[in-house]
Every structure is written in C-alpha cells, then in structure tokens.
Amino acid sequence: MSVPESDSDFRSGFVCFVGRPNTGKSTLTNALVGEKIAITSSRPQTTRHTIRGIVNREDTQLILVDTPGLHRPRTLLGKRLNDLVRDTYSEVDAIGFCVPADEKIGPGDRWIAQQLKEMAPKTPVVGLVTKIDKVKPDRVAQQLMALSELLGPDSEVVPISAAKGKQLDVLINVLRGLMEPGPAYYPDGELTDEPETTLMAEFIREAALEGIHDELPHSLAVVIEEIIEREAPEGQIPMVDVHANLYVERDSQKGIIIGKKGARLKEVGTVARVQIEKVLGAKVYLDLHVKVAKDWQRDPKQLGRLGF
C-alpha cells in the first residue's frame, strides 16, 4: 500500500454488519475482503465469533467485524452472543444494517433497528439492501424506500449483491465517507486478525451444519485440540495434522453428525479440509471426533471450556 501524500488523505475505521439471520452479513464480509474468512450458512446463529476482515484500498482500510446475529436469547449461550454484539455496537465507527431484497421488512428488522437506536445512538447506520440479484429492479426500489423509512433521513441506503459483486465499490466509498482520517491498523496483505485455530474450527462447524435442520446449529461447538507440523522434504508442500473435537448436547445429535457408518463425518472432514488447507498453505490431515457435552449451552463451566 503506498503512503498517501498527507495523513488526511487516508481514512480507516471499524464497521459492523447487523441484521436478521441469513441476510448476507458473512457473505458480504467475504466478498469485500476477497477471501473466505467468515462462515456462511442458512441456519440462524451460525456465526459465533467476531471475526475481523480487513479491506485494503489505496486510500482506505476498513476493518469488518462479523458478529453473531442479534436475537432474543433462550439459553446462556444466546445471552453471551447477544452481549458480544452489543459490545461491538459501541466500539465501531459505522454499522451496516442488512435487509435482503427478496424478503419484506418485518418485526425482526424493526426490533433490530430499535436496538441500534438504543444501544448505539451516535453510531452512523448505513442501510444495505442485500441479494439484489434475486429480484427485479422495481422490487429493489421498493425495499430501498422501505428501509430508508425504517432508518430515517440521516441514514444512507445502498443496494448490493455480495454474490455477484454488485455495488461493493459504492458501499466502500460510502463507508469511507463515515471514517475519520487515520492510519492503517494492519499491514497491506493481511485479511483477518483471527487466530488460525478459530478459523479452522469455524470451517469445520460450517461443513458439519450443511444440510442439517432443527436445533442442531445451536448445539454444535468445535474445539481444535492439537496441531502437529510434520517435517517435509525440501521443496515439498508441508503437511499438518489437525485434531479437532465436535461437541453436541445429546447422543442422537452425535449420530446425526457421524452419519451411517461414519459417512457424514467423513464428508465433513473432506469439505472442511479444503478450506483449512487454504488458510494454512499446507496439506492437512484432519482428524475429527464427535463427543457429547450434555446441555453445554446452559452450563457456564462448559461454555468457558468450549471458548464462549
């Protein structure tokens, strides 16, 4: 990254994307960063950590904080995830409120908008109509008007498609306008400050949740137990052994993850390994085990042990 002629030319700051589950927050983070650093899923409460993605431009650096979705909690885990989101609201320089173009604004959206006004009254909010590639232009226009009415005249509203890469540069320029002049927080080339172990655990969770229904997304946690680097002959790609445990709350859930004769767990390992190899830049042997930690979402000691 070249150094601007004057400090006032360069702007930097922190941005948080919020919205109901499955409104495209994690997909948008990945699209802006240019690499996959946040897991995506159609299941609510997939994201568990505030993964920071870093967007580098010639005159701008945006640090994207991808939080769990704000929701009405039913467990201790849910309450802790909400606390994580609330803490983030007060720390960022701008908030992007995501509403998909293919769903009408409903009570959940209005509840989040009210939460933003109460918890971050001074933080600028940009309305983001996501997934515009899924609907016709007149529907996009209707959603833009509805979201603008919900957020008020002080909030700019931008239509985007993270999947198709539409309007992302416009969004970056809008967010840049809300940042104060300041230095780059991270060196050019860095995409996230998340530890590799966290990313690996998240990729395993994403693979395990694919195609799963009911309550299992809330009940699944992944812990990286051990990483062992093997010595590789000179000139060959290094090999890394990754040992991870998947924790569920009941024996029946364990059976779902493992599948018939272990077929599903093998598929989880195959899918997750591809993502982990990209993160580590090495060949990976991925060893997965499924364990039962009864009612861990409601147990403070077990929550702590599993990293929450």
- CA–CA separation, 222 and 246 (whole Å): 5
Residue 69 assigned to a binding site: yes
How are the residues of the chain apportioned to helix, strand and coil, as percentages rounded to the nearest 5? 40, 25, 35
Average pLDDT rounded to a whole number, residues 21-34: 85
Q: What are 295's two structure tokens?
A: 């009612």
Cα–Cα–Cα angle for 200, 201, 206, nearest 5°? 95
Residues 6+ apart with CB under 8 A from 261: none
Residue 20 assigned to a binding site: yes
Residues 6+ apart with CB under 8 A from 93: 13, 14, 15, 123, 124, 178, 179, 180
Cα–Cα–Cα angle for 281, 27, 120, nearest 5°? 115
Residue 37 assigned to a binding site: no
Q: Which residue has the tokens 């190899």?
A: 277
Residue 22 assigned to a binding site: yes
Cα–Cα distances in angstroms (integers) from residue 6 to residues 11, 175, 181, 183, 244, in the given order: 11, 20, 10, 11, 48
- CA–CA separation, 298 and 80 (whole Å): 11
Residue 24 assigned to a binding site: yes
The pLDDT of residue 193 is 61
Residue 90 assigned to a binding site: no
pTM: 0.60
Residue 23 assigned to a binding site: yes
- CA–CA separation, 176 and 141 (whole Å): 24
Residue 67 assigned to a binding site: yes
Q: What are 222's two structure tokens?
A: 């992944």
Pairing type for strands 221-230 and 157-159 reads: unpaired
- CA–CA separation, 39 and 9 (whole Å): 33
3-class state of residue 153 by DSSP: coil
Residue 192 assigned to a binding site: no
- Write the pLDDT tens digit of every residue in 146-198: 999 999 999 999 999 999 999 999 999 999 999 999 888 877 766 666 667 87
Q: Do residues 190 and 54 make contact, with C-beta atoms less than 8 angstroms apart?
A: yes
Domains and CATH numbers, the chain: 11-178 (3.40.50.300), 196-306 (3.30.300.20)
Highest mean pLDDT pick, 37-46, 145-154, 212-221: 145-154
Average pLDDT rounded to a whole number, residues 45-73: 70
User: First-to-last CA distance in the chain?
Assistant: 36
